Structure 1
Amino acid sequence: MMKKTVLLLGLCLLLTGCITVKGLLAPGAAPLKEHVVLGEGRAKILVVDISGILVMDRLGPDFFSKRDPVLSRMREELDLARKDKNIIGLLLRIDSSGGSVTASDILYHEISRFGRERQLPIVALVLDKALSGGYYVALAADEIIVHPTSVVGGVGVVALKFNLAGLLEKWGIADDSVKSGEYKDFWSPLRASSPEEAALMQGITDRLHQRFIDLVAARRGIKDCTLKQVAKGTLFDAKPAQALRLVDSLGYFDEAVERVSQLAGVEKARVIIYRRPGARAGSIYAASNPVLHTMMRLEGIAEEMTGPSFRYQVAP
């Protein structure tokens, strides 16, 4: 019983922000530096990494890694790239199961805006997965290339809720909250949802889902019959995804680089990435710290437990 009480107290403190977990703290962010991965020539192809859970700027670089959350890092990289006239194309390296609806939408918006402003080609290369919000971001690309073993799709929205009422009752804990209005504790995990709450959440979820579907239709030119299949949230491996026109082709990193070069009309180019001093930059496959990804997933679950949250994400 004591262990359960301590565990519950720790969870409550963590979720309410009374305690913060930090460790292996990184120093203040240093300016991004260009690293050449391969190739030669004056022209440059910038690789932007879109990986892990897509969230707003909430964890920051203080947790276990020198790398920033994907949204703030991506914007900083694009701002730097805007100043480099030698960059002739963008290669999005995507490996994500999605995340926040708003974070996914902002990533799509920023990448699309960069492509319009610079009038250069954008190609997305999917590694392991581009699911839900990860696929939403990939739609910003002119073409989507997937590995033969990649999985894409998950077009949909989820608003998770953990009803802890039974668990708290078992532990002898009662909710004595005071509220100013009927919906002030909307979507509270401490009780079951009312039919009105469920209907309201369903309406918002349906509208956000339709926004996703409309974007797939516009960017991929998919007809209604295929859209119905895609809109179920189904996952597709590489060849079925290509047959449904969710992606353009199957290939690897070399083919993706070659395709960017072809679309840009150049014969040779350097492939570059931006990294902060001390960060891994050995190759295109050098991703951010997996511990950070784990913390971001835990944060996402905690967010679902404490209030309404809409996510273009495969449910954890």
Structure 2
Amino acid sequence: MIWPLRRKSRKRIARILIEGPINGSTRKLVLKALKQIEEREYPALLLRIDTPGGTVGDSQEIHGALLRLRAKGCHVVASFGNISASGGVYVGVAAEKIVANSGTITGSIGVILRGNNLSKLLERIGIRFETVKSGVFKDILSPDRALSNEERDLLQSLIDSSYDQFVEAVANGRQLTNKEVREFADGRVFTGSQALELGLIDELGDEDHARRLAAKLAGLDEEKTRTITLGSPKKRLMGLLPGSSFFSNMITLINFELSNSGQILWLFKP
């Protein structure tokens, strides 16, 4: 029997897990999975989110791809896990419905930009940078000196613009006004129960509750419909060793900090 290349999956729900900081690798995996969901015509997507957020551009691309998938008829339900903050919220508000546990940590709607001023340390150990630049702002956030007032104002304007984009996305996704969002979008975090009162989520419940909701929206049997996970990263040999997940998470966080220093982030920073 010859199976067609284009396989319809009308009685199953696709599932995507976004876990850990959102970065370029996350974006690639999620966009690839969303393409598969579109090609196989899944009627619904369960988007499991357990992330403190991450890079702005990658969060925006995932958000946009989810909206396009919904426009083609796929129902998207987000399930917030232990934490879905900052960029995780931005991605989540692209869903049709959001479900969170009562104790889920969410919110942290805002923008952060961090650099390192190592000038005192460099001076103490006798290291001095010699810089030749084409413009006054070309070496902004250089680690060998403090920011000037003009540089701080420039960076603040970038933060404000990014923040406006964040607020607008939340307002559109949650059917709130910008004013309503700004009243709680000051970087604070909430529990799932508090987020429900604010209109940031739709219902309280675990991932299975979200699965049932996705099945209901798609007109499927809530009891019998199961999920198939797409877009998971390949497991490496180290991942099979006891305690490896802890070290893997630590390495991921360290790499994220090092590679994204000086970038504008939608990230919860406790």
In 2, are the aligned partners of 1:129 and 1:152 still within 8 Å (CA)?
A: yes
Structure 1 distance, partners of 2:99, 2:17, is 15
Name 2:225's counterpart in structure 1.
269
In 2, are the aligned partners of 1:42 and 1:270 still within 8 Å (CA)?
A: no
2:53 corresponds to 1:98: yes
One-letter code of the match for 1:315?
A: K
Name 2:64's counterpart in structure 1.
109
What are the Cα deviations for residues 229-259 of structure 1, in whole angstroms up to 9, with x where unaligned? Answer: 3221110001111000001111012211110
Name 1:187's counterpart in structure 2.
141
Deviation (angstroms), 1:98? 0.5
One-letter code of the match for 1:43?
A: K
2:264 corresponds to 1:310: yes
Give SS of 2:138's match.
Answer: coil
What are the Cα deviations for residues 180-199 of structure 1, in whole angstroms up to 9, with x where unaligned? Answer: 33222122111111111100
Count of paired positions: 253
One-letter code of the match for 2:36?
A: L
Q: Aligned to 2:93, which of 134, 139, 143?
A: 139
Deviation (angstroms), 1:147? 1.1
2:89 corresponds to 1:121: no
In 2, are the aligned partners of 1:132 and 1:156 still within 8 Å (CA)?
A: yes
What are the Cα deviations for residues 154-208 of structure 1, in whole angstroms up to 9, with x where unaligned? Answer: 1100011111111111212112222233222122111111111100000010011
Identical aligned residues as a percent = 30
Deviation (angstroms), 1:149? 1.5
Structure 2 distance, partners of 1:79, 1:219, is 22
What are the Cα deviations for residues 42-69 of structure 1, in whole angstroms up to 9, with x where unaligned? Answer: 601011011111112xxxxxxxxxxxx2
Deviation (angstroms), 1:225? 5.3
Structure 2 distance, partners of 1:291, 1:76, is 27
Name 1:37's counterpart in structure 2.
none
Give SS of 1:227's match.
Answer: helix
Q: Which runs of 5+ in 1 are unaligned?
A: 1-40, 57-68, 281-287
What are the Cα deviations for residues 17-45 of structure 1, in whole angstroms up to 9, with x where unaligned? Answer: xxxxxxxxxxxxxxxxxxxxxxxx96010
Structure 2 distance, partners of 1:225, 1:218, is 12
Name 2:251's counterpart in structure 1.
295
Q: Cα distance 1:248–1:277, how it changes in 2: closer, same or farther (>3 A)?
A: closer
Give SS of 1:125's match.
Answer: strand
Deviation (angstroms), 1:290? 5.0
One-letter code of the match for 1:51?
A: E
2:197 corresponds to 1:243: yes
One-letter code of the match for 1:197?
A: E
Give SS of 1:232's match.
Answer: coil
In 1, are the aligned partners of 2:10 and 2:43 still within 8 Å (CA)?
A: no
Name 1:74's counterpart in structure 2.
30
In 2, are the aligned partners of 1:100 and 1:311 still within 8 Å (CA)?
A: yes
Give SS of 1:215's match.
Answer: helix
Structure 2 distance, partners of 1:237, 1:72, is 30
One-letter code of the match for 1:44?
A: R
Q: Normalization by structure 1: what TM-score?
A: 0.75
Name 2:3's counterpart in structure 1.
none
Q: Normalization by structure 2: what TM-score?
A: 0.87
Give SS of 1:83's match.
Answer: helix
Structure 2 distance, partners of 1:194, 1:45, is 53
Name 2:13's counterpart in structure 1.
45
In 1, are the aligned partners of 2:15 and 2:48 still within 8 Å (CA)?
A: yes
Note the aligned Cα RMSD (angstroms).
Answer: 2.2
Structure 2 distance, partners of 1:315, 1:88, is 36
Q: Which runs of 5+ in 2 are unaligned?
A: 1-8, 237-243
One-letter code of the match for 1:122?
A: V
2:105 corresponds to 1:151: yes
What are the Cα deviations for residues 274-297 of structure 1, in whole angstroms up to 9, with x where unaligned? Answer: 3679749xxxxxxx9554443332
Q: Cα distance 1:126–1:193, how it changes in 2: closer, same or farther (>3 A)?
A: same
